[in-house]
Amino acid sequence: MKVKDLIKKGCPTIMGIINVTPDSFSDGGKFNTLRKALKQGKKLEKDGADIIDIGGESTGPESKDISEREELKRVIPVIEEIKKQTNLPISIDTYKSSVAEAALQSGASIINDVTALRGDSKMVRVAHKHQCPVIMMYSKDNTPRTTVKNKHYKDVIEIIKDFFKERMNYIKKHSLTTSQIILDPGMGQFISAIPKYSYEIISKLKELDELKAPLLLGISRKSFLGGEVSERLEKGLLISGIAYLNGASILRTHDVKETKEFFKKF
């Protein structure tokens, strides 16, 4: 699969989320069985998702490390069944190369790595072997698991831009082409516990155009939106609209149906 095949014209590409975890911040425990995850996958397809993103380990604040064995146990059966019963491309949300390799062999076709290939030195080899799209995300923390930290930036978009330039040079050294890459500038706690920086990124998103890679934004239910998780949908949709107008090609969301309905009004 090529990145260009994922990008839609005239509307954003919608990536629906299935967290096969007990501890994800807004849906932990809701889809952590094969039956529940498969039901959700069918629902996301019906609701209009263009991609399904499957993750087996939460990387949010205060989440816990899990073993490679446990992560494989969670995600591989789900990927195999969803691949059989839907027609959507599947993204594996992992920073472990062994999990990505098994997922790609089981039917996934995209790697979504919150560490931007920093978390596992072998991940770049897996990406090269499969020549698949790779989503690289910026995070304030060097580890896969983010923290609640009031990180301050003089110019947050310049920091992110420099980070991605370094990552682009890294993949070139390992024989990957930039045409395989999708960039995620991060949101919420991955940026800072201070909300203004997430809004600054969205307002200055066009400054990342010089990197010549599609942008993915994960705004859905994030802490910077404020209020309780259950109160964040409407504001999240409005911010997603601004992000799309400012250049985001892919929107990663828990609420596919509502997002699709919202963008019908554009």
Residues forming the active site: 222, 252
CB 146 within 8 Å of CB 186 = no
CB 1 within 8 Å of CB 89 = yes
As a whole number of angstroms, the distance between CA 146 and CA 23 comes to: 14
Q: Which residues contact 111 (CB under 8 A, 6 or more apart)?
A: 91, 92, 94, 100, 104, 123, 126, 127, 132, 133, 134, 135
CB neighbours (10 Å) of residue 48? 15
Phi then psi for residue 54, to 5 deg, are -110, 125
As a whole number of angstroms, the distance between CA 197 and CA 254 comes to: 22
